[in-house]
Structure 1
């Protein structure tokens, strides 16, 4: 694990991250495009955390903080790096970021059918909240 480096993404990483998500992430989002990720980095440059091993992208997590809540998205680990502590290291880095910003609770968006992800989240101490329903509405964008 000592060879794993966690760092914030930069605009130069956008294309690599998007390609990585196509391979390593379960499902896609309407905001999984260059403009969407660029807006994230413009608004919160430290929010997209990358895990690298020997210069190769091994995992990602978005650790967004809006000043009130801590939101976790896009925890993804490359299939060749799974079960090696990458997700745990990313979540630890996200939690450290949140703590430094004054955050008090991490809320994660996890696909219901992604059992592999459920294991990683549980191992990191997160638990599903069945009493909460998540309602989603895609928003129109102005360009």
Structure 2
């Protein structure tokens, strides 16, 4: 496959079936039963209508970033590119588009979480200039035990 032609655009809830199908192909992806359902993603997009991104190539969605902010800091979730479309600049182009959308909303910093064993993702983020933080600890607290994370194999 030569260089794929791709288009980057804002994600809408109408993209959910194709985006979810893509997520299910990504090895190691943690999919939550509530947050990553259609209703959960719709809630997220309504709160952040201009910042989530998809990449389309060959008539299908081949990449996505759920991106939102709290008014102070942006965050990337579920950043992925279909395996057959990697190493063609799609991930970097999506990240830049999402960061531009955050800057348009006056957000000055963005973060993401990459699982330690996600070697491909960690190498990617370091290669495009993101800083690995060693000066902090990350904590979370589960408010809804029904929101179970399942990992793709």
Same fold by TM-score greater than 0.5: yes
- Correspondence for 2:19: 17
For structure 2, list consecutive stretches of 5 or more residues without a partner in the other structure: 146-153
Q: CA distance change for structure 1 residues 47 and 139 in 2, over 3 Å: closer, same or farther?
A: farther
Aligned equivalents of 1:11 and 1:56: distance in 2? 15
TM-score of the two chains, using structure 2 as the length reference: 0.84
Aligned equivalents of 2:67 and 2:13: distance in 1? 16
Aligned length: 141
Q: CA distance change for structure 1 residues 2 and 81 in 2, over 3 Å: closer, same or farther?
A: closer
* Cα displacement string for residues 69-105 of structure 1 (whole angstroms, at most 9, x for unaligned residues): 1111111110001111111101110111111111111
Which secondary structure state, in structure 1, belongs to the residue aligned with residue 9 of structure 2?
A: strand
**Contact between 1:50 and 1:61, CA under 8 Å: does it hold in 2?**
yes
Whether 1:33 and 2:37 are equivalent positions in the alignment is yes
- Correspondence for 1:111: 115
Q: CA distance change for structure 1 residues 109 and 96 in 2, over 3 Å: closer, same or farther?
A: same
For structure 1, list consecutive stretches of 5 or more residues without a partner in the other structure: none
The alpha-carbon deviation at position 25 of structure 1 amounts to: 5.7
Q: Give the ranges of 4+ consecutive aligned residues of structure 1 lying more than 6 Å apart after TM superposition.
A: none
Larger helix percent: 1
Q: CA distance change for structure 1 residues 82 and 25 in 2, over 3 Å: closer, same or farther?
A: same
RMSD: 1.7
The alpha-carbon deviation at position 2 of structure 1 amounts to: 7.8
Larger RCO of the pair (alpha carbons < 8 Å, separation 6+): 2
- Correspondence for 2:149: none
